[in-house]
Structure 1
Amino acid sequence: MNALTHTNHIECVVQNHDQLGETPLWCERTQKLWWVDIEQPRLQSFDPATGAHRVIEMPGTYLGSQALTVSGARMVAIDLELQLFDTETGTATPFAVVEHGVDNRLNDGRVDQRGRLWIGTMDNQLHRPNGSLYRVDPNGTVKKMAGDIIVSNGIAFSPDGTTLYFTDTRRYISWAFDLDLDDGAITNRRVFADYSATGDRPDGACIDVDGCLWTAFFAGGRIVRYRPDGAIDRQIALPVTNPTCLCFGGKELKTLYVTSATKFLTPEQRAAEPLAGSLFAIEGIGQGLPENRFG
């Protein structure tokens, strides 16, 4: 059951023109969906109860990703630095500089069950293996966990927290690692999904309650659900070419939110895709898990 399917349950909930919408997260405290536009750096929220869309302009060249924290501040990845950002006051506090002196930026990140942030860097020119995967501990320690990455992406954890999924979009491969929750070590790297023969671009990812991995395919116009053994059991077509990332949200975590991008679309494609760069919601296809918080 892996044929590409179309569903009428896809709703555009924020008709936006994000250049590179990314890293949607559901915050159970605010009951809102939060996401970023990386290249027009702004942090955004959507309140499904009221339909309100809030936009917070951010500093820097790139707002690579975001994470929830125990304190309630937002961990934001600005260029190559992590900052704690108060969404109410607009106050930013430097937390850690992940890399120095390389033409990279921070990209996808996610917090594990022990409150550690796993985040990757990527090559700004999209072809050099300059990037790495890092583990950032609550005490501010930054540890490089893997290298030789072009575009880090697709960080997600199995429901029990002992499997880490990670993607290099420009190598067209997703991997799985064993994660030791006690010491934060990763071992047993193995290929989970390989698109190197076709050039398909797996992007952001999330896990559902069944332990299945959902992945958005940039330039592929679809989202894919993998069983834990790597077999595809569902593919859903979207009304845009560039879905980027996804997460479950809503009070029962039964709404799948999907971000998208206008990046790389020609003027003709943009005219043909008025919903490119928007935020979508899909009902009735699964249930997610609460997002972990850093700290």
Structure 2
Amino acid sequence: MNVMAPISRIECVVHGGDRLGETPLWCDRTDTLSWIDIEDPRLHTFDPATGAHATVALPGTFAGTQALTKAGDRLLAEDLTLYARDPDTGYRCDLITFEQGLDNRLNDGRVDARGRFWVGTMDNSLTRPTGALYRVDPDGTATCMERDVVVSNGIAFSPDGRTLYFTDTRRYTSYAYDLDIDDGVITNRRIFADYSATRDRPDGACVDVDGCVWAAFFAGGRIVRYRPDGRIDRTILLPVTNPTCMAFGGPDLRTLYVTTARKFLTSGQLAAEPLAGSVLAIEGAGQGLPEHRFGS
């Protein structure tokens, strides 16, 4: 059954102006939510207990992605370079640069149960299959796992860590893979959700305690919950056109936070959508899982 949740259950917790808000993460050490603005490179932090909201300017043209680490610093992307940033000092340590010479950038990423960071690249023109999916091991070694990708997105893992979800937004398709959590090898790629006929754009994703996959639909004004078998069982309509990604947060991981974007909206659309570029919160959608941290 596909349940349509009413808009009245949604509130704005940070009224922002993100051009391309993305990659929300809940930190269980600080009880704060963080996210990035990819195209106006900034790292945001929000404390729901106090309402405090802070931002840090980031270098580069695109911020790309982020992840938590076991050491307590933050993995961040500057264009095609992945680096670690100390949150207290701002000290930066570059880990690896991908795909030099291509008009690509890093995009969505997530850490698996063994502390490996899975991250994708994308074509800046959104049309060419020059992107790829990589696995970055805790020692900084990167291995290409998939090629021929237009826009990498929607990286998430099942609760047991044995299924990897991955989306190519501009192929309008989400995939599932079997993941060997010991050696980090993926096999048995199959289509999880196919929107190639309608050209809907699945964007960021997360997984809840029931093993259901939540996906945001850029330019689609909604988020969708899929059962592990790929069937849709819930759709939540949003007061914005461009939701980008989600993360469960709060001390009990029962608040679903949604990042959004102003990108591609006309002046008329922006006037009609005052919450575009803001962070939304939805209560009662379910319960999430703690984020894994990069490192050994």
| TM-score (normalised: structure 1) | 0.99
Asked if 1:182 is matched to 2:172, the reply is: no
Instruction: Encode CA deviations 1:221-266: one digit per residue, 9 max, x unaligned.
Output: 0000000000000000000000000010000000000000000000
Aligned to 2:218: 218
Aligned to 1:117: 117
Aligned to 2:277: 277
Aligned-residue offset at 1:100: 1.0
Larger mean CA deviation between 90-99 and 139-148 belongs to: 90-99
Aligned to 1:19: 19
SS in 1 for 2:271: helix
Letter in 1 for 2:235: Q
Where in structure 1 do 4 or more consecutive aligned residues deviate above 4 Å? Answer: none
Partner Cα separation in structure 1 for residue 86 and residue 135 of structure 2: 23
Aligned to 1:66: 66
Aligned-residue offset at 1:69: 0.2
Instruction: Encode CA deviations 1:151-196: one digit per residue, 9 max, x unaligned.
Output: 0000000000000000000000000000001110000000000000
SS in 2 for 1:170: helix
Aligned to 2:195: 195
Partner Cα separation in structure 2 for residue 3 and residue 147 of structure 1: 36
Partner Cα separation in structure 2 for residue 99 and residue 140 of structure 1: 15
Aligned to 1:94: 94
Aligned-residue offset at 1:88: 1.6
Instruction: Encode CA deviations 1:39-65: one digit per residue, 9 max, x unaligned.
Output: 000000110000011100000000001
User: Percent identical across equivalent pairs?
Assistant: 69
| TM-score (normalised: structure 2) | 0.99
Partner Cα separation in structure 2 for residue 267 and residue 117 of structure 1: 38
State the aligned residue count.
295
Aligned-residue offset at 1:3: 4.9
Q: Which runs of 5+ in 1 are unaligned?
A: none
Aligned-residue offset at 1:96: 1.1
Partner Cα separation in structure 2 for residue 103 and residue 78 of structure 1: 14
Q: CA RMSD in A?
A: 0.7
Aligned to 1:126: 126
Partner Cα separation in structure 2 for residue 175 and residue 95 of structure 1: 28
Partner Cα separation in structure 1 for residue 258 and residue 274 of structure 2: 16
SS in 1 for 2:8: coil
Q: Which runs of 5+ in 2 are unaligned?
A: none
Aligned-residue offset at 1:285: 1.2
Larger mean CA deviation between 2-11 and 161-170 belongs to: 2-11
Aligned-residue offset at 1:90: 1.3
Aligned to 2:171: 171
Aligned to 2:249: 249
Aligned-residue offset at 1:97: 1.1
Aligned to 2:236: 236
Instruction: Encode CA deviations 1:179-225: one digit per residue, 9 max, x unaligned.
Output: 00111000000000000000100000000000000000000000000
Letter in 1 for 2:62: Y
